Structure 1
Amino acid sequence: MSHKAILQNIGSIFKKEENDFLELTQTINNYKEITYSLSDINLENEANRADIHFNNGKALGTAWAAMCIDDIIRTKIFVKSVFNAIETLKEKKSRPIHILYAGTGPFATLLLPIFATYSPKEVKATLLEINQESFDSVKQVISKLGFEGHIVSYENEDATTFTIDKAIPVDIILSETLQCGLVKEQQVPITLNLLNQVPKNTILIPEMLALDVCLLNLKAYENRTETTPETDYCIVLDRLIEINNTSNIEFQLDNTTTETKILSEKEITVLPKEATQFETLVLITRMTIFGDNKIKINESGLTVPIIIQVFNNQTTEKKFKISYKIDSEPGYVIHW
């Protein structure tokens, strides 16, 4: 079976509504085998493990970016969402759908099944990657697969300051440059920069990212089932920040400065009666990738609750401030 046929089959499995983890595990293994075989990158080389640091976050080293494929639900939901977004747009467009993929990593993992499924007359992409090793690799992979017809351009640039060529309108902005808690990487500044340059109806993938400050009953959380209501084990105290396709209006961000930018700050009060039943203060990353496609709590490394503090026998109110900042190490900061 050809690589294209295998990638088509991988895409069809990722598109399924249900999750068969045995099937998904085998599919991810097949996907890794293809991508690794097409690239000359030595993932054991220390040089390929070096991250690139900027004044607004870091870009992952090539080896770490390659390993993102191992997060099964993350990869499946993102690829499924791209398929869904394309199908949503197809009937409305008389030209190829144009995807701007910011942060491709060494393999353009989220688009290879797309290119295998659709013709260049249906889907094209601009591939944007700052890491030189990853950039060289992704060009090599696309060439070996014969997908060059899908490529509008390759851009070896920083996505947080990249200027979009207006000659071909962008229909979908795709970027998966993030970690749990929206820390360290450049997802937020990349998103805000690109949104500033496209119409409001441009599809953003992920569609919504948010950080919620919550209280968990840890035992109830660990014993939950798929049908357990979240309110049985979790109280949302406040939403620290939300990033969606209008966030560039709310958050004005100059990506060229080295100053720390506070995008949001909230004052949180934890009441004794809440902390008695829900004793663990956590930060939960919420993710809607596209439409009904969401990555739920603990389904992926991206959505594991971040434990901040455990309250034991608290008898008084506890107040603190939490902010979300952009600088050389983006993320949340807690002020007790």
Structure 2
Amino acid sequence: MQHYRDELLKIGAVFQKEKIDFLELSSAINNYKQIIYALTNIDVDSDVNRQDIHSLNGKAIGTTWAAMCLEDILRTKKFINGIFKAIAKLKQEGKETIHILYAGTGPFATLLLPVLAYYSSTELKATLIEINTESFTFMKALIEQLGFDEHIIAYKNEDATKLKINNPETIDIVLSETLQRGLVVEQQVPITINLLKQIDQPIILIPELLALDVCWMNHNSFANRSIETNEESYCFPIKRLIEINKRSHEYLTFDFDNSDVQILAQEKIVIEPNQQDNELNVLALITRIKVFEDEEILMNESGLTLPIFLKMPDVTNEPQTLTISYKIDEKPGYTLEYS
């Protein structure tokens, strides 16, 4: 297995480069896929692996869909580089052994393998949480095959929205990437709140910040943009609907056992009768992701940050008010209501 560990070191080195060479990065992602698929023999076409897990506060995606997240190139690169940067910061502050709590590992613990290859088991420890039994089984076997089991404090095949942390005082980094654009469907928000409310000491949260911004956009300018086009030329933020950071558990509270719809955030936007005649004439919901410090996933860089164009009201001669809410229930996400 040393060959695979050496390859993971090379892959990790590519992910850590500040300047992005897409050819090199794509090659690293392909090599990464070859390693993990060779070691797990996962059948992505299996009905069992395609089954999602549904709960009162969101969905945990099936093994197949979790495996495919690796192919979102900049998403993978920036999350892994953010983890490397967070560990480097803690080491600079004198932390000798760093403990990462990783919730929602999927079948490969994708965001952690190149990091485990880089650090010794005395420098880096991890607790790995995955609700999906199929994904959990693949993940645990992969870690053991690669010889990373000495890094692991505990494997937990549990629901991270209900998990009770045994050793919260040892946690340095909380990592969870269980999200889609718009923070819809999946459990990122309840997972983050549940874990953070159990930890008293300062920690690093990855992603460091998630937010949903409501913006006015010029759809034509957006559609005809180039890679050099600044977001400000076609997008004007007007409201931040919700923000998730390491203090969110202090003010975003809800009952994890309640099956009713629970509203976590709500904003009202007045739309004037002539708004749709202006250059900024389309409402969009933008997912903001700050992984760690300067490591951010910008609009359009990932499937996670593509704009969601919102339904506009019927044209009338009177102002209309849009109420946009973020809710938690069996299908978390945003709702719209015009009045």
TM-score calculated relative to the size of structure 1: 0.96
Distance change in 2, residues 1:290/1:105 (3 Å): same
CA apart distance, 1:222: 2.6
Counterpart in the other structure of 1:318: 320
Counterpart in the other structure of 1:264: 265
What is the alpha-carbon distance in structure 1 between the residues aligned to residue 132 and residue 314 of structure 2? 46
Counterpart in the other structure of 1:10: 11
CA apart distance, 1:180: 0.6
What is the alpha-carbon distance in structure 1 between the residues aligned to residue 207 and residue 272 of structure 2? 34
Is the contact between residue 212 and residue 240 of structure 2 (CA under 8 Å) also seen in structure 1?
yes
Moved more, 184-193 or 1-10: 1-10
What is the alpha-carbon distance in structure 1 between the residues aligned to residue 164 and residue 33 of structure 2? 32
Letter in 2 for 1:82: I
CA apart distance, 1:277: 1.0
Distance change in 2, residues 1:8/1:41 (3 Å): same
What is the alpha-carbon distance in structure 1 between the residues aligned to residue 201 and residue 226 of structure 2? 38
3-state SS in 2 of match to 1:324:
strand
Moved more, 316-325 or 187-196: 316-325
CA apart distance, 1:218: 1.2
CA apart distance, 1:121: 0.9
CA apart distance, 1:317: 2.8
CA apart distance, 1:219: 1.6
Is the contact between residue 175 and residue 206 of structure 2 (CA under 8 Å) also seen in structure 1?
yes
Counterpart in the other structure of 2:302: 300
3-state SS in 2 of match to 1:157:
coil
3-state SS in 2 of match to 1:252:
coil
RMSD of aligned alpha carbons: 1.7
Stretches (4+) displaced over 2 A = 91-95, 222-231, 270-275, 309-318
Alignment pair present for 1:127 and 2:125: no
Counterpart in the other structure of 2:230: 229
Is the contact between residue 168 and residue 198 of structure 2 (CA under 8 Å) also seen in structure 1?
no
Is the contact between residue 24 and residue 72 of structure 1 (CA under 8 Å) also seen in structure 2?
yes
Letter in 1 for 2:327: K
What is the alpha-carbon distance in structure 2 between the residues aligned to residue 256 and residue 211 of structure 1? 25
Within-5 A mapping of 1:105-124: 105-124=106-125
Within-5 A mapping of 1:1-336: 2-166=3-167, 169-199=170-200, 201-272=202-273, 274-275=275-276, 276-309=278-311, 316-336=318-338
What is the alpha-carbon distance in structure 2 between the residues aligned to residue 5 and residue 96 of structure 1? 22
3-state SS in 2 of match to 1:2:
helix
Q: Deviations over 1:162-206 (max 9, x none)?
A: 011127610000000000100000000000000101135210000
Letter in 2 for 1:223: N
TM-score calculated relative to the size of structure 2: 0.95
What is the alpha-carbon distance in structure 2 between the residues aligned to residue 37 and residue 281 of structure 1? 45
Q: Deviations over 1:95-133 (max 9, x none)?
A: 410000000000000000001000011111000001000
What is the alpha-carbon distance in structure 1 between the residues aligned to residue 146 and residue 332 of structure 2? 36
CA apart distance, 1:320: 1.1
What is the alpha-carbon distance in structure 2 between the residues aligned to residue 232 and residue 312 of structure 1? 26
CA apart distance, 1:315: 5.7
Distance change in 2, residues 1:143/1:263 (3 Å): same
CA apart distance, 1:316: 4.5
What is the alpha-carbon distance in structure 2 between the residues aligned to residue 259 and residue 237 of structure 1? 29
Is the contact between residue 74 and residue 297 of structure 2 (CA under 8 Å) also seen in structure 1?
yes
5+ residue gaps, structure 2: none
3-state SS in 1 of match to 2:222:
helix
5+ residue gaps, structure 1: none
3-state SS in 1 of match to 2:193:
helix
What is the alpha-carbon distance in structure 2 between the residues aligned to residue 293 and residue 40 of structure 1? 33
Letter in 2 for 1:158: D
3-state SS in 2 of match to 1:323:
strand
Is the contact between residue 169 and residue 200 of structure 2 (CA under 8 Å) also seen in structure 1?
no
What is the alpha-carbon distance in structure 1 between the residues aligned to residue 191 and residue 110 of structure 2? 18
Q: Deviations over 1:32-87 (max 9, x none)?
A: 11011111332110111000000000101000000000000000000000000000
3-state SS in 2 of match to 1:277:
coil
